[in-house]
Amino acid sequence: MKLRHIAIAAIISAAACGATAQNIATPKVKADFKERQEKVANPAYFTVFDRNLTPQQREALEFLYAYMPLPDIADYSGDFFLTNVDATLRARKEMPWGKNIPDREWRHFVLPLRINNEALDNHRPEFYAELKDRVKGLSMKDAILEVNHWCHEKATYEPSDSRTHSPLATVSSAIGRCGEESTFTVGALRAVGIPARQIYTPRWAHTDDNHAWVEAWADGQWYFLGACEPEPVLNLGWFNAPASRGMMMNTYAFGAYDGPEEVLATPDGYTNINVTTNYAPVDTITVNVTDRQGRPAAGTEVSFRLYNYGEFYPIATKTTDQHGRASLSAGIGDVVVWATDGKNFGMTKGSVGRDRNVAVTLDLTPSYTGVKEMDIIPPVASNKPVEVTPAQAAENDRRKVYEDSLRGAYTATFFTRERGEDLGRRLGLDPARVAAVMIDARGNHKTIEQFLSGVPEADRERALTLVESLSVKDRSDVPAVILADHLTAPVYDTPLYAEYILSPRIDNEALTPFRSYFSATVGKDEAARMRANPAELVAQTARDITILPDWYPGNIRMSPEAVDRSKATNAASRDIYFVAKARSLGIPARIDPVTGKTQWADAKGNWTDASFGGDSSASAKPASQGTLKLAFTKTGRIDDPKYYTQFTLSKIADGRPQLLGFPEDATWSSILRDGQKLDEGQYMLVSGQRMADGGVLSRAQFFDIRPESTVSDTLVMRQDNKGVQVIGNFNSENTYTDLASGAEKSVLSTTGRGYYVIGLLTPNHEPTNHALRDIAAVAPEFEKWGRGMILLFKDRQDAGRFDSSLLPELPSTVSYGIDTDGKIAAEIIGNLKLSTTERPVFIIADTFNRIVFVSQGYTIGLGDQIVDTIHHLGE
């Protein structure tokens, strides 16, 4: 692909900073590499070492092959890794800082190509070619800032699914969620030889969602930055305040890392390290676990969990020592501690910073039913302001406007709705459907256009159906070879055809052209037998595929083709393999999005679980099920609680909760009011009400579902009974510049008498983006309320950068304006004594000049919080 043209942390000793030995493969690395070769026992994976390699090439490859995920070894060639090794060695030699980077930091945070669960690509030599002259002559710190400006030229934030674009795909699409932006930025920094790592908070404590950003190493110290969000200085980002309230921030170091940070875990090939102390006050909490007889429970799994998106989400997992103890360094706030021996479990609340020791008893059995309520308090903000001069801020803003224009010039080449509809008419296809997929394609539009145009006219409808079966993100990076491969699927007369036979999308794996592979390797007679009796394919999979759980960090998956060749993989890749092979043979198959179970369907569309225990009869036996039916009484304004927002349901398996993945738009009435069929077993219903300060009133209720029986109960939403209070004042006669008319208007003249909302925004800014999306999600509530909402930018430059096309439609009551001379922002911040000028800021006030609600910075669920407050106002 041709690219578009256009201190916090540990100090490394001075001696380490001057290291020039450049020992890539230490004795431990060499030993681990040898052990890896012996355990994998497949010489074909290591043929690159038969090449005539230089000592540095060999040692770099030994380090990568000693620790890389097994899917990477199986799915990418040795030549692929050698190309990237050569680019990395070149950067180390040619960049002025190359000789000064300690071996440890270079080995773990420059050399590795993989950053997240992205498909690997050859971005490194391409990025180096474009960036090397741009950072020439700069200090390391200035080079980091410059690389981030370059990244901002290429991509801006937009939320999406959890599959991570490769760096080149992020450049092509010009957008990415935080995990993709940080993967892209880490890749760009490593391409010019700067150590970089992706920092991740698994979940925020004070609001729903998570976040990822970047740390980069310069002159002996780690600094942080917001990926594709350039600031004038390092250690500055919109997330400074949220991070100061964080309870866990971590990163994965490739290989056996021996740095100064606390080690959380050592999954095969990686070291999970705790960097929370870089951002927030921390303390250590120790959990003492005992069994039902009061004896120390050694070897027990202890997970530390936060209430987030309606569930208790694990942010760190430890194992108790011989005394039944496990400790964690975390932010100062409440966690839910969950301990299990794989059968029985126990749970309690622990307050980091107050409770130095927490006792948990494994007294809850697999048949336990009951209720546990907890009031959960998150950390308070404690970030320190970072000094930026007005001149620095102005220059940074000027550059961002220019960078937006470069990116905008590129995205202007993408398909519009009109252009897409015109293509549809020319191809004899539904114009609206073609326009939708072509808009989703973004920088991949030529691939999709050529595919649809190039197939025979009789096959175009099916070709469009194939593209529609992909995820939105798939359309923006799927290569032509994959589309061509899957269009070879024969047509079968079943309503499940498009989604469960034709489509290559199974889970969150990288798409591959597996259909032609299985068509070539499975004989026609064998395929016919398996179509007639899918249980035979289940039994064959169980018999032929060995489960090898080693070297599978995160959600990286081995391709179906590689699984078939190696006959060894992990369970998740085995399940994808089964579905891919079944679809290739004409058998509808899926991984159930709710339960995660692997299934195939018969001719009548009935789904059967695929059991890989080796007994073919087990695959045809339906799971024993009961029913959970819950009533709900309107609570406050909540008349139909939302899944992931106000409640979730998890199955307790082996003492651990496993979330059921109902659709994002699921509600109580759609899944539980009339009864939900569930496999027999123990379930936990979690509900919670998030307070304006980030605290949560949580409730966990446990059910035992028995076969052919119904459990009837009630979904309870705990409520805060405190009334709305006046928290400050704001003059409703203040004026602003109305963007629509250009006239100076007062707040009062815009909103009329009564309550109203004012929002202070930053354009193309992740917290602002989330806030506006949350408001759009409850637009009918604001329409019903009917009062005005004024959204203000700080100046015309910011207003000009705002791209509303990246957002859903806001309520019709919204007006846009400019805060003339910053008077409104100054008054709100001053009167409410807000500690920072961070945006966005939203207030609810009235024309008696009273403020009754404020939200500042990164908040998920803002729309619901505002509507809840409005409800309590009786408006």
The encoded tokens of residue 640 equal: 């139909």
Which of residues 436, 458, 487 is at a domain's end? 487
Q: How confident is the model at residue 547 (pLDDT cuts 50, 70, 90)?
A: very high
Torsions phi, psi for 301 (to 5 deg)? -80, 125
Confidence (pLDDT) at 19: 37
**Of 226, 244, 276, which one is at a domain's C-terminal end?**
276
Contact between 402 and 797 under an 8 Å Cβ cutoff? The reply is: no
The H-or-E segment that residue 190 falls in is helix 178-191
E-strand ranges in 587-659 read: 589-591, 598-601, 607-609, 625-631, 647-653, 656-659
Q: Domain check: are 747 and 835 in the same one?
A: yes
Instruction: Indicate if 435 and 359 belong to the same structural domain.
Output: no
Q: Is the pLDDT of residue 875 over 50?
A: no
User: What is the average pLDDT score of the chain?
Assistant: 93
Q: Angle CA(364)–CA(370)–CA(372) in degrees, nearest 5? A: 85
Residues 42-77 have pLDDT tens digits of 999 999 999 999 999 999 999 999 999 999 999 999
Domain boundary among 688, 714, 740: 714
Quick one: 637 and 780 in the same domain?
Answer: no
Q: What is the tens place of the pLDDT at every residue in 85-117?
A: 999 999 999 999 999 999 999 999 999 999 999
Q: How far apart are CA 195 and CA 185, in angstroms?
A: 11
How many independent structural domains does the chain possess? 6
**Token output for 30:** 């060499």
Question: Within this chain, do residues 134 and 266 fall inside the same structural domain, yes or no?
Answer: yes
Distance CA 851, CA 836 (A): 18
- C-alpha 494: how far from chain center: 34
Q: Is the pLDDT of residue 326 over 60?
A: yes
Residues 617 and 629 in one domain: no
My answer on whether 449 and 517 are in the same domain is: no
pTM score, whole prediction? 0.90
Residue 14 pLDDT more than 80? Answer: no
Q: 145: how many CB neighbours lie within 10 A of its CB?
A: 20
Residue 613 confidence (pLDDT): 79
- pLDDT digit string, tens, across residues 251-279: 999 999 999 999 999 988 999 999 999 99
C-alpha to C-alpha distances, 62 to 46, 78, 556, nearest whole angstrom:
10, 11, 21
In a domain, 382, yes or no: no
What is the per-residue pLDDT across 282-304, written as a single tens digit (0 to 9) for each? 999 999 999 999 999 999 999 99
DSSP string, 421-440: HHHHHHHTS-HHHHHHHHHH
Query: According to the model, what pLDDT value does residue 811 have?
Result: 95
| pLDDT band at residue 341 under the 50/70/90 scheme | very high
pLDDT of residue 268: 82
Q: What letter represents residue 57's amino acid?
A: Q
Residue 464 pLDDT greater than 80, yes or no: yes
Structure tokens at 690: 């998030």
pLDDT tens by residue, 210-219: 999 999 999 9
Say how far apart CA 207 and CA 226 lie, in whole Å: 19
Residue 721 pLDDT greater than 90, yes or no: no
- Please give the structure tokens belonging to residue 597: 């179970």
Do 267 and 286 lie in one domain? The reply is no
pLDDT single digits (tens) 167-211: 999 999 999 999 999 999 999 999 999 999 999 999 999 999 999
Report the CATH number at residue 73. Answer: 3.90.260
Question: 821 is written with which tokens?
Answer: 């001379």
**Which tens digits make up the pLDDT trace of 729-776?**
999 999 999 999 999 999 999 998 899 999 999 998 889 999 999 999
Residue 720 belongs to a domain: no
Using DSSP, state whether 708 is helix, strand or coil: coil
Q: Do residue 267 and residue 293 come from a single domain? A: no
Q: If pLDDT is split at 50, 70 and 90, which confidence band does 308 have? A: very high
- Write out pLDDT tens, residues 224-259: 999 999 999 999 999 998 999 999 999 999 999 999
User: Which is nearest to 577 in space by CA: 606, 619, 616, 538?
Assistant: 538
Q: Examine residue 387 and state whether it is found in any structural domain, yes or no.
A: no
What letter would DSSP give residue 403? H
Q: Would residue 508 count as lying in a domain?
A: yes
Q: What is the pLDDT of residue 623?
A: 77
Give the helix/strand (H/E) hosting 862: helix 862-873
| pLDDT confidence of residue 835 | 81
Task: State the pLDDT at residue 22.
Answer: 62
Q: What is the Cα–Cα distance from 643 to 355, expressed in whole angstroms?
A: 32
The answer to whether residues 200 and 93 belong to one domain is: yes
- Location of structure tokens 């020319």: 426
Q: Is residue 584 assigned to a domain?
A: yes
Q: What pLDDT was estimated at residue 548?
A: 86
pLDDT digits (tens, 9 = 90+) for 447-462: 999 999 999 999 999 9
- Can you give the residue range of the structural domain that contains 672? 625-714
Same domain, 312 and 346: yes
Indicate if the pLDDT at residue 128 is higher than 70: yes
> In the prediction, which pLDDT does 616 show?
44
pLDDT (0 to 100) of residue 620: 53
pLDDT at residue 17, rounded to an integer: 37
Can you spell out the DSSP letters for 220-263?
A: TEEEEE-TT---SSSSB-TTHHHHHT-S--EEEEESS---SSEE
Are 194 and 269 members of one domain?
yes
Is the torsion defined by CA of 227, 230, 232, 236 positive or negative?
A: negative
Residues 190 and 327 in one domain: no
Q: What percent of the chain has pLDDT over 70?
A: 96
Model confidence at 619, pLDDT cuts 50, 70, 90, reads: low
